[in-house]
Structure 1
Amino acid sequence: MRGRKPNEIAAGSSPIGTVPRPPAWLSADAKREWKRVAPILVERGHLEDADLSILANCCDAFGTMVAMARKIETEGATIPNARGELKRNPATGIKNEAAIRHKQLCAELGLTPVSRARSNFKVANDDDLSFLD
């Protein structure tokens, strides 16, 4: 994520044409995120076989974030320790780490407004620009 960002990102040489099924190991929330995001990437022509593990990891981070948010909602942001003193619920740290990982992976996939603004996605040929005529 550090260093110079490329000015242009060329569409893949072998983009996936149909939305792949989410991996079975993903949680239900992560699978819902996959089903929301994968069609967007396929439609743009920016999803290749090599990207599927990044997408799965992104969706897994989302699922973890949602699971921890539910846990915090149930238990609270603070919980008592063995002495009865309140301490930060460990779920808050896990949720925050998952949110950071999710944001980073979304940026890698071009799914954030900033990542799209920083990149000029090349189109395969001039025919793809026919809507400008």
Structure 2
Amino acid sequence: MTHLRGVKPALSPDREPLTKTPPAPKWLSEDARGEWKRIMPRLIADRIVTRADLTGIENYCVAVGHVRAIERTFATTGTLDKTLFGMQNRAMQTARQLAAEYGLSPVSRARVGGNAADDDDDDNPLTIGRNRR
């Protein structure tokens, strides 16, 4: 029996990816729109995003926008409000999880395109540095 719990499949280019960046939704905050403009060219170039993914990208941008807005509040007031800190923490977690879905983190970018070309098919990490036949 194959056990795949906790194993994420490799990201790969989609069959029907978007070929140009759609405009950021007007309802996004300024911070969220800025994040949209920052990430979308990369996602389009990697051929990862389809129309069906746009809601997830919007949600990622909203979460990043909340993180930045709350951080500005902390900087402006000079105080750390526990409630806002909790909201910011949850927004950071959401943004991180969504970023991983779309190849926006170092680990998920490494998964784009599948397996490395120089894989020696040796899954035993203890053989590193040993002479192999």
Superposition TM-score, scaled by structure 2 size:
0.76
CA distance in 1: counterparts of 2:23 and 2:112, whole angstroms = 28
What's the offset of the Cα at 1:90?
1.8
1:12–1:47 CA contact under 8 A, matched in 2: yes
Question: Could you report, residue by residue, the CA deviation over 1:69-102 in whole angstroms, capped at 9, with x for unpaired residues?
Answer: 0111122344xxxxxxxxx442111111111111
SS in 1 for 2:99: helix
For these two proteins, the number of residue pairs brought into alignment is 110
- In structure 2, do the counterparts of structure 1 residues 65 and 120 end up closer, same or farther at CA, with 3 Å as the change threshold? closer
Task: List runs of 5+ in structure 1 lacking aligned partners.
Answer: 79-87, 123-133
Task: Quickly say closer, same or farther: Cα 1:77–1:114, change in 2 above 3 A.
Answer: farther
Cα pair 2:32 2:64 within 8 Å, conserved: yes
Partner-residue secondary structure (3-state), 1:9: coil
TM-score (norm 1): 0.76
Q: Which runs of structure 1 show a deviation greater than 4 angstroms over 4 or more consecutive aligned residues?
A: none
- Mapped to 2, the partners of 1:25 and 1:120 lie a distance apart of 30
**What RMSD over aligned residues (CA atoms) do the two structures have, in Å?**
1.5
The 8 Å contact of residues 76 and 89 in structure 1, kept in 2 or not, is answered as no
Cα separation, 1, equivalents of 2:13 and 2:92 = 27
Partners of 1:37 and 1:58 lie apart in 2 by 10
Identity of aligned residues (%): 39
CA contact (8 A) 2:36 2:61 kept: yes
2:123 counterpart of 1:121:
no
